[in-house]
Amino acid sequence: MNLPSISKCFELMAETKMLDNIKVHSIMVSKVAILLAQYMRQAGIPLSLELIETAALLHDITKTRSLQTGERHSRTGARFLRSLGYPEVASVVLQHVRLSRYSDSSLPSPSEIVNYADKRVLHDQITDLAERMRYIEERYGADDKKRQRIQLLWRDSVRLEQKLFRFLPFEPHELPDLLRPK
Distance CA 49, CA 26 (A): 16
Question: pLDDT class for 152, splitting at 50, 70, 90?
Answer: confident
pLDDT at position 32 is 98
The whole-number average pLDDT for the span 117-143 is 87
Q: Which domains occur in the chain, in start order?
A: 6-176 (1.10.3210)
pTM for the predicted model, two decimal places? 0.94
Confidence at residue 136, expressed as pLDDT on a 0 to 100 scale: 80
Torsion sign (Cα): 41, 45, 49, 54:
negative
Question: Residue 48 gets which letter from DSSP?
Answer: -
Percent of the chain with pLDDT over 70: 99
DSSP state of 173: G
Mean pLDDT of the chain: 93
SS3 152: helix
Average of per-residue pLDDT across 106-119: 96
* Residue 137: predicted pLDDT: 82
